[in-house]
Structure 1
Amino acid sequence: MIEAVIFDWAGTTVDYGSLAPVIAFKKAFKNAGIELSDEDIRQDMGMAKWDHVGRILELEDVKKQWEQKYSELPNNNDRKKIYADFQQSLLHYLKEYTELKSGVLKTFNYLKEYGIKVATTTGYTAEMMKIVKDKAAEDGYAPDLVVTSEDVNGLGRPSPAMIQLIMREFNISDPRNIIKIGDTLVDIEEGQNAGVKTVGIVEGSSLLGLSQVEFDELDNEEQIAKRNEVKRKFEAVNADFVIDSIFDLVQIIEYLNESMDKKW
């Protein structure tokens, strides 16, 4: 039986489109004179933010821009400066963008009703998560356990360390009794490395990369095409399941529980 569900935050349960970190990354790098595209940012979305800054600084276009501007490649002090700017910006934007996605409370209440524990992992720091967690709790979403990479000696995604800590805290020995759901490929990789069931969510995801307004403005055929594009990305990394919206998770849980019952 499914004993626990582990959710991501931005793009999965809050912040439709995972917009806050994108805006904060752009601002921090622009302060350093570097222009970033959404694609530059989103390809490693979900990692611990210090690691994510490092990945962006390794991009060829970013290194080229940096060398043109400073006549040298970025060093660790540059990384620290950008990370500090990013943190400051994100802490500001989180207050604005922490809004529950549609269906989150309904799903959360279903899990509580059936005694399924709820935890979260994230690429955010503990300081960032305090803002997000408190705002979500005001709106009725309060997971049993909120874990950051700071709780596991900085071992962020795709390391399984955060999920393994959750398993110990919940006293769950079999990873097959756990579902990890997220909106990025690194969410899926994290779950796979921990041996749990993985679910990719499409609408409002970082992979979709659109705000609620932008998605709603698309016609039906464009919406279907965008959804299918994201589904193919999740399928390409062998996510166990891909769902359009978060309440579809209920069907996955019921399917898995029924399958487990048959095996026993």
Structure 2
Amino acid sequence: MTTIFTNTYPAPRYRGPLQAVVFDWAGTMVDFGSFAPTQVLIDAFAGFGIAVSLAEARLPMGLAKWDHIRALGDQPGLSARWRAKYGRAMRDADVDALYAAFLPLQVERVAQYSDPIPGALDVLAELRARHIKIGSCSGYPRVVMERLLAKARGDGLLVDHAVAADDLKAGGRPGPWMALANVVELGVGELSACVKVDDTVPGIAEGLAAHMWSVGVAVSGNELGLGRAELAALPADERARRRALAVDKLAGAGAHYVIDSIAELPRVLDLIEARLERGEQP
């Protein structure tokens, strides 16, 4: 005979402090405007005789780079241009060839674009003062990540762990695996004590799938997609309009909070810890 017990008691809710923040890289901690991935993708496609606009290159941002190229090839406009040149739809073998052209360009140029975003060093120092562990993950493959990490270390931007898109058999975003790999490596015991910070829709989805608080980054990241000088040169009303579009997209993806840049993160962490104390969960 089998005895079945039905547990009607809810699991205890975590009410302690935050334990870890898992950051994206380009557009979040470094590379204001997220240009390293986009510009190199444009150049890789140009080598195959296919023009790609910056706006098109940004649409699948956050995915692993092979998947990013595949998604670009499936966009109607780019797909039509590929068919016009090659007489057929883009195949996986074409994606392989584009990725092979993209990768050395990305390794060569990633450091060129990857200066820390203003406020990043101060925020990471504050996290350490608060005994919050610092994880990170990216759509970059490991060979690019190593070049980026070397640049970041030289700039004083240090994380406790970094996961690249090709590190895990399970894959990358929008699944939760890179974020969860940080949890395991950092020894964090509560998912609700973790925050994922990202400037892309797949990155927000990653945090939500990992049952973390998800914070979107609107102005310094991919969704607004401008460098600091370009942003400052915009008329105030146009800057506000573009910011609102970026905020709406990240909020629509499910972000619990949306900030302009990493510099605003400590205020949001205080809000999240207050919610945890009340028994709220992400």
* TM-score, structure 1 as length reference: 0.96
Counterpart in the other structure of 1:129: 145
1:188 aligns with 2:200: no
Partner secondary structure for residue 167 of structure 2: helix
Q: CA deviation at 1:220?
A: 2.1
The percent of aligned pairs where both chains have the same amino acid is 30
In the TM superposition, residue 95 of structure 1 has moved relative to its aligned partner by: 2.2
For each residue in 1:168-223, what CA deviation from the matched residue of structure 2 results, as whole angstroms up to 9, or x when unmatched? 12222321100000111111000011110000012221000111111011122222
Alignment counterpart, residue 26 of structure 1, candidates 39, 42, 47: 42
Q: CA deviation at 1:246?
A: 1.1
In structure 2, what is the equivalent of residue 77 of structure 1?
93
Could you tell me how far apart the structure 2 residues matched to 1:67 and 1:254 are?
52
**1:112 alignment partner AA:** R
Deviation at 1:154?
A: 5.3
Equivalent residues in 2 for 1:1-264, closer than 5 Å = 1-153=17-169, 155-263=171-279
SS at match of 2:21: strand
- Return the structure number with greater helix share: 1
Larger displacement relative to structure 2 (244-253 or 164-173): 164-173
Distance 1:208 1:181 in 2: 16
Structure 1: which 5+ runs fail to align?
Answer: none
- C-alpha contact (below 8 Å) 2:165/2:178 kept by paired residues: yes
CA–CA separation in structure 2 for the residues paired with 1:78 and 1:116: 43
User: Which secondary structure does the structure 1 equivalent of 2:158 belong to?
Assistant: coil
Which consecutive residues of structure 2, in runs of 5 or more, have no partner in the other structure? 1-16
Q: Which amino acid aligns with 1:104?
A: A
Q: Secondary structure at the match of 1:181?
A: strand
- Residue pair 2:198, 2:204 contacting (<8 A) in 1 also: yes
Deviations 1:23-55 (A, max 9, x none): 111111111111112222111101100111111
Q: How many residue pairs get matched?
A: 264
Q: Deviations over 1:70-116 (max 9, x none)?
A: 22222222111111111122112212111000000010000011110
Inter-partner Cα distance in structure 2 for 1:29 and 1:83: 10
